Amino acid sequence: MNREKEKKKRKYGVFPMLVAASLVFAGCGTATTSQSEPAKNATEQTPATKEIAFNPPKLEDAPKGELGEAIQLGYKMVTDTKATVPQNVGNNLSCISCHADGGTNKIASPLVGVTAVHPQYRDREGKVITMEDRINECFKRSMNGKPLEAGSKEMTAMIAYLTYISEGIPTGADIPWRGKSKVSLEGITPDKANGEKLYKQSCLACHGTDGSGTGPASGPAVWGEHSFNDGAGLARISQMTGYIQKNMPKAEMGGVKPGELSKQQAADLAAYLLAQERPEFTGKKNDWPKGNKPKDVKY
């Protein structure tokens, strides 16, 4: 009797174990299928990465109301900086002296997308800076002036405008048109004498015999008390060379047509311009606090 019970116990005790085991393996197989299929579909359905389009919205399409008023004021600050915030500008330049068409010209140091890449780390400051910091660095250096007050109507307007023209550009995006001004001068030996010759031939009509210019947009001051100071980005020959080659001259001058300057010619011009007197930036001692100062920074 006991022997019969033992047989039944073994028979029915093993069966549930086999069933359980089969369910476990079946479950694993099912789980593997259900997890891998969505992953496969996700891979198949992910669209190819597309290059970000340069398509800033038009000013006339800006929203109405207080936001629109802020955007319009920001635009005025970019296009007629000294007239709009004279207390913050120490020379005769405007933002459009470098950033043509209100910062919406693709080849002239465009401002489109700038709010999407801030905050960002910068070697010159040795820290992460905000959009407000970046704007004020331009006021202190390129404008040889004073920073905008934090939270002011003017700072808010500038941010509003830059955000508006950067509409649709993802935060942190790799923006293809940014950072194109600086060029490598490897293999190039700038010739100031040739730069002076080129300046008199093709630049003098707009920028003047003394470099003081004819207007912040048409011919900004390129040296002297009315120009940017020696702490500005364009005071670096790599930056100035790239900007000149990509943007000068605006029209045919002295037989030179737009887009025809070679890198050597642009470097010669940059060397000549940067050899002239300009305002001194008093905050230079705080630049590059962690080292790695570029070779073409002359202070």
SS3 109: coil
Helix (H) or strand (E) holding 127: strand 127-129
pTM of the model as a whole: 0.81
CATH architecture of 192-282: Orthogonal Bundle (1.10)
Q: Do domains 59-165 and 192-282 have the same CATH topology?
A: yes
Q: Lowest-confidence range among 27-41, 133-147, 273-287?
A: 27-41
Rg of the chain, C-alpha, whole Å? 31
Residue 271 backbone dihedrals phi, psi, to 5 degrees: -60, -40
207, burial (CB in 10 Å: exposed 0-12, middle 13-18, buried 19+)? buried
Whether 97 shows a pLDDT value over 80: the answer reads yes
Residues in a beta bridge with 122: 127
pLDDT band at 255 (very low <50, low <70, confident <90, very high): confident
Query: In this structure, which topology does domain 59-165 adopt according to CATH?
Result: Cytochrome Bc1 Complex; Chain D, domain 2 (1.10.760)
SS3 121: strand
Domain positions in the chain are: 59-165, 192-282
The mean pLDDT of 83-98, rounded to a whole number, is 97
> Are 143 and 152 within 8 A, CB to CB?
no
Determine if residue 254 is left, alpha or beta; phi over 0 gives left, psi from -120 to 50 gives alpha, anything else beta. Answer: left
